[in-house]
Amino acid sequence: MRGMLAVCYQLGVLTSEMPSTAAPVALHFVLVDDTATFRGLLKASLQQRFQPRVFQDFAQGADALAACLANPPDLLIADLYLRDLDGRDIVRRLRERGLATRVVILTAHPEAQLPAELVSLGVAGFVDKNSPFEQIDRAVQCVLEGGMFFSATVPPPVPSSLASLPELPRLGAEALSEREREVVRLVARGRVSKEIGAQLDLSTRTVEKHRARILAKLGLHDVPTLVRWCLRNGLG
């Protein structure tokens, strides 16, 4: 495999640091990739690292989509270019049904415009399939903990292109209190609640309450959309 550095993405910054919080238990993963050997090896790697309670894997996008709609997983790991269905189409269908399943997209052909396009769909992770499985594991860890993870070989999302997307709330930064703005900046930079609490001298539970209140105020339901709102309002 060709070498590359995959990193946990913070807006405007690429960092090799990863959150230290352990992944949650009793997870449900869905993996879809039409290359049997790659899918089998990746499944074994993810099972060893995260030990999900349920791990479904599929070769066809339509089968994976049906499984996600029937029983929404905690995480979907999907190849971008499947034989029967584009990975983006799967994500669109999930979002149309109001499902907030976290998504990591894989592709052997990364393109410069993909991060911004994927963030607009609510995708929180994007990894070059040519990277080692350990880096895909790191992407999954980061996304499960509420962060965003993008391959370092692909440029990060461009604020100007994200700001023009129509579905963001019209409320500006003034809708949030000073403390909420402090919290939301760190959420947008990929920090998990434990890290935010340590930096702001708050308990993890207090940070979680702030996060919930911020999303409720803005009428948002996931971190990728919150990141786009932050970019538009200068809170990145």
pLDDT of residue 117: 82
Residue-level pLDDT at 91: 94
d(CA 8, CA 152): 9
Domains of the chain in start order, with CATH, are 6-157 (3.40.50.2300), 161-232 (1.10.10.10)
Over range 203-222, report the average pLDDT. Answer: 85
Q: 160: how many CB neighbours lie within 10 A of its CB?
A: 10
pLDDT for 67 equals 97
Q: Is 159 or 233 the better-scoring residue by pLDDT? A: 233
Give pLDDT, residue 196: 86
Under 8 Å CB-to-CB from 113, ≥6 apart: which residues? Answer: none
Confidence of residue 40 (pLDDT cuts 50, 70, 90): very high
The answer to whether residues 58 and 32 touch, using CB atoms and an 8 Å cutoff, is yes
What pLDDT was estimated at residue 163?
42
What is the residue whose two structure tokens read 């209140």? 213
Q: pLDDT (tens digit, 9 = 90+) per residue, 6-36?
A: 445 433 333 334 444 444 467 999 999 988 9
Average pLDDT value for the chain: 80
Residue 106 has a pLDDT of 93
Min mean pLDDT across 73-77, 139-143, 184-188 is at 184-188
- The pLDDT, as a whole number, for residue 167 is 61
Q: How confident is the model at residue 166 (pLDDT cuts 50, 70, 90)?
A: very low
Residue 38 pLDDT more than 60?
Answer: yes
DSSP assignment letter at 40: H
What is the per-residue pLDDT across 84-128, written as a single tens digit (0 to 9) for each?
A: 888 999 999 999 999 989 999 998 777 767 777 888 888 988 898
pLDDT of residue 154: 57
Of residues 170 and 128, more confidence is placed in 128
pLDDT at 159 (0 to 100): 46
Q: What's the confidence (pLDDT) of residue 17?
A: 42
Q: Tell me the average pLDDT across 185-205.
A: 81
Q: Mapping DSSP to helix (H, G, I), strand (E, B) and coil, where does residue 151 land? A: strand
| DSSP letters for 118-135 | HHHTT--EEEETTS-HHH
The answer, yes or no, to whether residue 194 has pLDDT greater than 90, is no
> What pLDDT, on the 0 to 100 scale, is given for residue 175?
87
